[in-house]
Amino acid sequence: MKNHHPRDVEHPSQKYNPSQINPTYFASYSEHFPHIGFLTDESNAIRELTEVHHLIFGLCHHKFEPPFKKGSHYGKPRLQITPLGKSLLRFLGNIPELKARFPHHELQPMMTEAIRLAEEFSPAVSLDDLRHACGQEIDAVVKEYSDWAIQMRQAALSNGMYEKVKSFRRNGTRNYKQAMACMKQAQERHKQVLLKRLDWSPRKKDPLTPVEKMSEDEFLAAFNYIANARKLMTKRLRKTFKEDLFFYVWKIEFGPIKGFHIHWLIGLNGAKYWDRINVGFHIAKDWDKNIFNNTSHTHNVNALPTREAVGLKLVHYADPDAGYYFGHHADYLSKVDYSMRLRLPKGRHAFGCTKLKKPSKNKTGPARRYEISTYDVHAVRGPQGGKKQR
């Protein structure tokens, strides 16, 4: 039989025929899954509100840089706009629609001053003429728009918001170190650890209400349901794996499409469990069937084809990339979700992990064949903590 190169194999998309599409499929799909954002009238409002929040949080970032700069293209001066700058320009052009959809009292408090500054901003070069700026005009544009961006940053961090953001980031770093300590202890005590990533969320029947638009009672009711579900899943994990469960890390978040959901990172005994895909599949099936009676959905992240490259597999104690794997996932699970933190009552937690086990005497027996890999927990922190992704 002749061997074919992968590029010689006909892709299914090459057989695409529009006449074969059943139009009733999409109608039935949107009827049964109305919570999917792009299938609802609420989706545009959710995206707009989410865009504004990402903009404000970008302005609050501890490594903020002016989003408008002067660069060069083939030796000629050119205006360079960062992704944050593009968000600012979209925000500037959508103020009337944003105010019509969401009254000020429904937005986070730090947005009110930012909207006022955007309405008062009257640049010499309008948004329509911005892309055509050239020569010495670029210097004036960069100064004018950068000064406005800095004023927006100062407004976002006013009224005590700077202290809150700083506190959130400090807590995020503390959570990251706690998760890294659990993973490092498992690495030191055992030969191999099987890393599993699962994303759990309840199935939706109605269009989602953005967390920013929820009343206090609605928010607490939804959060309490997720928190109780998390306790049941934790109890089930401990009962199923017992001493083979080395550690687990969980994080409750809110997404514009998924709504409230839980991210899980689970470390299992690599001497007994080594299948990186099917173990997570059975955990998800057990949760959905025995706890939630098929009213939830669990996404097995390990089943994605590229997940093995970031350590969702058997990790040996001497693996030189073990620190990178642990740091990548610990950082992702400890990143700050400002929409949640700004509304979460005092005493409620959206992050948690196993406690460190008490140190015990070294087991008698031969020494390890290889030296355990060492790493600096700050150096291996992922992109959410301000580090560049490897």
The structure's pTM equals: 0.73
Local confidence band at 233 (pLDDT 50, 70, 90 cut-offs): very high
Pick from 10-24, 65-79, 151-165: least confident: 10-24
Show Cβ contacts of residue 28 under 8 Å, excluding neighbours closer than 6 positions: none
Local confidence band at 209 (pLDDT 50, 70, 90 cut-offs): low
pLDDT tens profile 77-125: 778 888 888 888 888 877 777 777 665 444 555 666 777 777 887 777 6
Q: For position 30, what pLDDT does the model report?
A: 30
Show Cβ contacts of residue 348 under 8 Å, excluding neighbours closer than 6 positions: 223, 227
Pick from 15-19, 26-30, 281-285, 294-298: least confident: 26-30
Mean pLDDT of 288-304: 90
- Tell me which residue has tokens 């986070």: 108
Q: For position 206, what pLDDT does the model report?
A: 65
pLDDT tens profile 244-265: 999 999 999 987 667 889 999 9
Local confidence band at 338 (pLDDT 50, 70, 90 cut-offs): confident
Show Cβ contacts of residue 350 under 8 Å, excluding neighbours closer than 6 positions: 251, 252, 253, 337, 340, 341, 344
Mean pLDDT of 1-15: 38
Instruction: With beta carbons less than 8 A apart as the criterion, state whether 244 and 196 touch.
Output: no
Higher local confidence (pLDDT), 3 or 142? 142
Residue 184, pLDDT > 90, answer yes
